[in-house]
């Protein structure tokens, strides 16, 4: 069975009952679908927008080794994250990209992640060094993988535009990146085409009714307005920042929202040369990342309390963009900063005031809604395999595992300019329904081309089989902050 939307809809129409329903096509839901289906459960995943259109396609794209847990002395979590990197490198192929990250230590600018006392000048570089030594030990890293100390001149050689004034020294350590949205659709294609799962986008679960030992599910096809009903024996809700549907809304996890915005700069204007930099401290005491991204550069930050737009489609507002540009200028010798696109994302953080801390682990939280129904909230992209595994093991008495993913080369090879063959492949194997699915999450056309890929749009629409649905692509790109006006 192909992972095309028409075939997936037919599959749903031909079945009336599933062992497992997963609500939400972000990283957690998609990984859970792949593991459930590969263990033989008849499984369906429904996503109300496009796959990876929530936090899972709007992240900083880091598969962290957990260095940020060190200042909180959470050594077990650091070890676990580093261990997870070792597993993911084998399973994700080219979707796991090793990355060297520079941590520059400046006088009077200790890392925001460190406790205040460790931010003082005389202690900050010692504290960082100690942390990285521990990081290498916890990850049982070989000599080649361990962190390296850089003096000022070595730092300047490798990062010529990074400001040298007040720079004391720096460290380079190993971390990793992925392409979040492509990882999600690759997991789904594996689940569907190899393990016979069903996955459909633009299909919103609007109601769930318990009927003796199973659940009656109502879903609406958001592109055509027609309704589907079927039964599920178990439910995992991986709904991110969204509440549970229907009467179950009142049982939703107690969460708060945390946002973050990013800019994409064309090519390598900050001369980071394929490496990343952890900028130590923003004016509101956060850290900021500068990262390479398929030949371009991402700069951004997370952990903001506000966001613009809607939960479904947040965007980076003018203040967010100016804030990022201000910090680029604080740390780099550049007079102007030009960006080609921007995005914003919102994640769910557990509201500790309302949630018993014993249920919270690694920032994610299992909410037992009913005997055979759980909601999973929070967590990180990096921990997706473990979170999905734990979700399944909460419901089924089995041991779930993620197998190495296929089709990675195909999804990574898709061009970032319109290409008829790529579009055809996306219809047949990556379940696209709207031009923006192709432009934002299967390729980087909107991110990597000026004006949200506007110049490519007429060719894309000409070749797009929109199957009688009404879509306003320019309005969607405008809502994402990628176009200045609709047309
Ligand atoms: C700005 C930012 C940067 C981040 N950077 C990193 C990073 O670099 N590394 C890292 O490890 N983590 C990072 N994270 C965290 C990470 O992105 C999230 O933890 C992760 O993506 C959450 O995945 P999810 O599947 O739980 O949720 P989501 O990706 O939000 O998916 C939930 C999905 O459920 C769907 N849904 C909701 N209700 C329904 C319904 N009734 N019917 C059908 N579908 C429904 C939504 O439409 C949505 O697509 C970042 C987060 C943010 C916001």
Q: Tens digits of per-residue pLDDT, 398-425?
A: 999 999 999 999 999 999 999 999 999 9
Minimum-distance ligand 1 atom for the alpha carbon of 51: 49
Assess whether 163 and 106 both reside in one domain. yes
204/226 Cα distance (integer angstroms): 11
Given a contact cutoff of 8 angstroms between Cβ atoms, the answer to whether 76 and 84 are in contact is: no
Residue 278 has pLDDT above 50, yes or no: yes
Assess whether 206 and 248 both reside in one domain. yes
Q: Which domain covers residue 248, as residue numbers?
A: 5-57+181-254+352-395
Cα dihedral 444/272/137/127 (nearest 10): -120
Assess whether 470 and 329 both reside in one domain. no
- Residue 409 domain flag: no
**Backbone phi, then psi, for 448, in 5-degree steps?**
-100, -5
**Cβ neighbour number for residue 487 with a 10 Å cutoff:** 8
**Furthest-apart CA atoms within the chain: distance in Å:** 71
Assess whether 104 and 201 both reside in one domain. no
Q: Where are the beta strands (DSSP E) in 238-295?
A: 255-265, 276-279, 288-293
- Residue 381 domain flag: yes
Instruction: Give the helix/strand (H/E) hosting 167.
Output: strand 167-177
Assess whether 222 and 267 both reside in one domain. no
Q: Over range 296-322, report the average pLDDT.
A: 93
- Residue 406 domain flag: no
Residue 472 has what pLDDT?
87
Assess whether 323 and 186 both reside in one domain. no
- Residue 361 domain flag: yes
**358: CATH:** 3.50.50.60
> How far apart are the two ends of the chain, measured CA to CA in Å?
38
Q: 60: Cβ below 6 Å to ligand 1? A: yes
Q: How far is CA 64 from the centre of its chain?
A: 12
Q: What is the pLDDT of residues 245-268, one digit of tens each?
A: 999 999 999 988 999 999 999 999
Residue 269 has what pLDDT?
98
Nearest by Cα to 133 from 147, 121, 143: 147
Global pTM reads 0.96
94 pLDDT band, cuts 50/70/90, is very high
Residue 161 has what pLDDT?
98
Assess whether 289 and 145 both reside in one domain. yes
Assess whether 325 and 441 both reside in one domain. no
- Which residue's alpha carbon is nearest to atom 15 within ligand 1? 380
Residue 486 has pLDDT above 80, yes or no: no
Residue 357 has what pLDDT?
44
Higher pLDDT, 283 or 236: 236
Q: What is the pLDDT of residues 48-61, one digit of tens each?
A: 999 999 999 999 99
Cα dihedral 99/105/111/117 (nearest 10): 140
Assess whether 144 and 22 both reside in one domain. no
C-alpha 54 – ligand 1 centre gap (Å): 5
Residue 216 has what pLDDT?
98
Lookup: tokens for 173: 């350590």
Substitution site in 56, 230, 287 for ligand 1 pocket (most atoms within 8 Å of beta carbon): 56
Assess whether 234 and 280 both reside in one domain. no
Residue 305 has what pLDDT?
83
Assess whether 150 and 298 both reside in one domain. yes
Given a contact cutoff of 8 angstroms between Cβ atoms, the answer to whether 30 and 191 are in contact is: yes
Minimum-distance ligand 1 atom for the alpha carbon of 204: 42
Q: 314: Cβ below 6 Å to ligand 1? A: no
Q: How long is the chain?
A: 487
Q: What is the pLDDT of residues 350-379, one digit of tens each?
A: 887 665 544 445 578 899 999 999 999 988
Assess whether 104 and 52 both reside in one domain. no
- Residue 487 domain flag: no
Q: What rounded mean pLDDT belongs to the chain?
A: 92
**Cβ neighbour number for residue 275 with a 10 Å cutoff:** 15
- Which residue's alpha carbon is nearest to atom 33 within ligand 1? 24
484 pLDDT band, cuts 50/70/90, is confident
82/381 Cα distance (integer angstroms): 14
Nearest by Cα to 171 from 113, 274, 102, 111: 102
Domain count, the chain: 3
47/36 Cα distance (integer angstroms): 17
Of 395, 424, 458, which one is at a domain's C-terminal end?
395
- Residue 126 domain flag: yes
The H-assigned helical ranges of 226-339 are 318-331
Substitution site in 28, 34, 59 for ligand 1 pocket (most atoms within 8 Å of beta carbon): 59
Q: How far is CA 211 from the centre of its chain?
A: 35
Given a contact cutoff of 8 angstroms between Cβ atoms, the answer to whether 71 and 118 are in contact is: yes
**Backbone phi, then psi, for 230, in 5-degree steps?**
-160, 175
C-alpha 381 – ligand 1 centre gap (Å): 8
Residue 239 has pLDDT above 50, yes or no: yes
């Amino acid at each position: 069975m192909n992972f095309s939307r028409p075939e997936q809809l037919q599959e749903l129409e031909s079945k009336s009952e599933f062992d497992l329903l997963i609500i939400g096509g972000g990283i957690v839901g998609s990984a859970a679908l792949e593991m459930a289906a590969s263990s033989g459960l008849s499984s369906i995943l429904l996503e109300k927008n496009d796959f990876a259109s929530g936090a899972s396609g709007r992240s900083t794209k880091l598969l962290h080794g957990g260095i940020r847990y060190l200042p909180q002395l959470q050594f077990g979590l650091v070890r676990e994250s580093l261990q997870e990197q070792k597993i993911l490198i084998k399973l994700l192929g080219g979707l796991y990209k090793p990355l060297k990250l520079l941590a520059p230590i400046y006088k009077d600018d200790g890392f925001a992640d460190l406790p205040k006392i460790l931010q003082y000048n005389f202690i900050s570089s010692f504290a960082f060094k100690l942390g990285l030594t521990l990081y290498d030990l916890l990850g049982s890293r070989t000599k080649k993988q361990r962190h390296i100390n850089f003096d000022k001149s070595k730092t300047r050689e490798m990062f010529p535009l990074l400001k040298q004034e007040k720079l004391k020294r720096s460290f380079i350590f190993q971390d990793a990146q992925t392409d979040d949205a492509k990882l999600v659709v690759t997991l789904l294609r594996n689940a569907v085409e190899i393990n016979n799962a069903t996955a459909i986008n633009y299909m919103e679960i609007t109601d769930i009714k318990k009927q003796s030992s199973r659940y009656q599910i109502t879903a609406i096809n958001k592109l055509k307005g027609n309704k589907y009903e079927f039964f599920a024996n178990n439910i995992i809700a991986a709904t991110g920042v969204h509440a549970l549907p229907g009467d179950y809304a009142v049982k939703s996890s107690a969460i708060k929202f945390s946002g973050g915005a990013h800019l994409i700069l064309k090519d390598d204007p900050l001369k980071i040369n394929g490496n990343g930099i952890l900028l130590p401290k923003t004016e509101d005491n956060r850290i900021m990342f500068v990262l390479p991204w398929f030949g371009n550069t991402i700069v951004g930050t997370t952990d903001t309390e506000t966001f613009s737009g809607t939960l479904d489609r947040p965007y980076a507002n003018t203040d967010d963009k100016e804030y990022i540009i201000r910090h680029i200028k604080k740390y780099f010798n550049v007079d102007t900063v030009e960006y080609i696109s921007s995005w914003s994302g919102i994640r769910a953080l557990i509201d500790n005031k309302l949630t018993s801390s014993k249920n919270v682990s690694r920032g994610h939280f299992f909410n037992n809604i009913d005997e055979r129904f759980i909601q999973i909230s929070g967590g990180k992209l990096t921990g997706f395999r473990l979170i999905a595994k734990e979700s399944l093991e909460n419901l089924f008495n089995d041991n779930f595992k993620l197998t190495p993913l296929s089709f990675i080369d195909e999804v990574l090879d898709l061009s970032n300019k319109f290409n008829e063959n790529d579009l055809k492949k996306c219809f047949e194997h990556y379940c696209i329904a709207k031009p923006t699915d192709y432009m934002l999450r299967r390729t980087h056309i909107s991110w990597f081309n000026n004006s949200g890929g506007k110049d490519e749009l007429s060719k894309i629409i000409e070749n797009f089989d929109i199957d009688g649905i009404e879509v306003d692509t320019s309005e969607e790109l405008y809502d994402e902050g990628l176009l200045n006006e609709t047309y």
